[in-house]
């Protein structure tokens, strides 16, 4: 039995509705994407000329399969991680709460805040009044690899990708949109190496890492994994899809002798439960 099946129907319905709103799964029929004309079978320049003369756009609807698997960057959704990884967040958080695992809920690398909004919604649905949700991000996108970057990060400069640069005020507004912004939503603004080691977090029940790069993933693990209590969860978003992230997780687990089995969520997400 999944943990969410242990909840009353009203709590399950709220969490399910919140999840499907955060991914915009419920509204894909209203979402339109510009067609990439590089894939046009004819001459794309001719087509651009025709479209431009008429002030037309060529669009397609959102792809339900891509959204479910977290393989696109949604234009309006608060999360891009897809249904399976979002369901894993629910399973880990609900299990921790129902099993009485102490500690807060943390995500490092939040984009528009969707996963942390879901975490706060789970606390609301289960009537938890004590735990906090920590929202950790540079809110400036990904860092450029420095001179001392790990070899797996060299050449991966995504610092100029504008869609990843979502400000803290925008994320706060997203929490407020769902009625979930309060004093128990705590923002850690800045690069992980600067903010996480001194973050006033005593115990962590669920730690979710979404930092993409080796350096960002290792910074988060070193600062926060020791604060994950026995029975708590460590969730890694980019393990399957990003070699730098996978290398950081492997190096950290090897260094500290972590043998808890890594469990696959989908094509890129994994988690383990701390012994």
Planar angle of CA 116, 106, 141, nearest 5 degrees:
70
| pLDDT of res. 124 | 98
CATH code, domain with 145: 3.40.50.150
| pLDDT of res. 250 | 98
Q: Residue ranges of the chain with pLDDT lower than 50? A: none
Work out how many domains the chain is built from and give that number. 1
What are 144-202's pLDDT values in tens digits?
888 788 889 888 888 899 999 999 999 999 999 999 999 999 999 999 999 999 999 99
| 166 neighbors 135 (Cβ within 8 angstroms) | no
184 found inside a domain = yes
Q: pTM (2 decimals)?
A: 0.92
| pLDDT of res. 156 | 83
Expressed as residue numbers, the domain containing 154 is: 82-273
3-state secondary structure of 83: helix
| pLDDT of res. 262 | 98
113 found inside a domain = yes
- Both tokens of 104, joined, read 């807060």
| pLDDT of res. 155 | 81
| Helix or strand holding residue 116 (H, E) | helix 114-125
φ and ψ at 208, to 5 degrees? -120, 125
Instruction: State the number of CA atoms in the 13 A half-sphere of 197 facing the CB.
Output: 7
185 found inside a domain = yes
63 found inside a domain = no
């Amino acid at each position: 039995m999944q943990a969410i099946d242990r909840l009353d129907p009203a709590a399950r319905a709220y969490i399910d509705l919140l999840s499907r709103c955060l991914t915009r799964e419920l509204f894909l029929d209203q979402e339109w994407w510009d067609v990439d004309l590089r894939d046009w079978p004819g001459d794309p320049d001719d087509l651009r000329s025709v479209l431009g003369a008429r002030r037309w756009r060529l669009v397609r609807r959102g792809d339900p399969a891509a959204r479910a698997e977290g393989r696109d960057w949604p234009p309006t959704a608060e999360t891009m991680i897809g249904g399976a990884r979002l369901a894993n967040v629910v399973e880990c958080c609900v299990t921790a709460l129902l099993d009485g695992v102490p500690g807060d809920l943390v995500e490092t690398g939040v984009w528009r805040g969707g996963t942390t909004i879901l975490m706060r919604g789970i606390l609301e649905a289960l009537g938890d009044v004590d735990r906090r949700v920590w929202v950790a991000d540079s809110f400036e996108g990904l860092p450029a690899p420095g001179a001392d970057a790990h070899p797996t990060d060299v050449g991966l400069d995504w610092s100029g990708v504008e869609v990843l640069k979502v400000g803290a005020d925008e994320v706060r507004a997203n929490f407020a949109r769902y009625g979930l912004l309060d004093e128990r939503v705590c923002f850690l603004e800045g690069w992980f190496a600067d903010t996480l080691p001194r973050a006033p977090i005593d115990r962590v029940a669920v730690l979710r890492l979404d930092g993409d790069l080796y350096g960002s993933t290792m910074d988060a693990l070193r600062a926060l994994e020791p604060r994950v209590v026995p029975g708590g969860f460590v969730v890694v978003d980019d393990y399957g899809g990003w070699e730098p992230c996978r290398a950081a997780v492997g190096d950290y687990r090897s260094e500290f002798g972590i043998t808890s089995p890594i469990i696959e969520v989908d094509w890129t997400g994994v988690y383990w439960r701390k012994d």
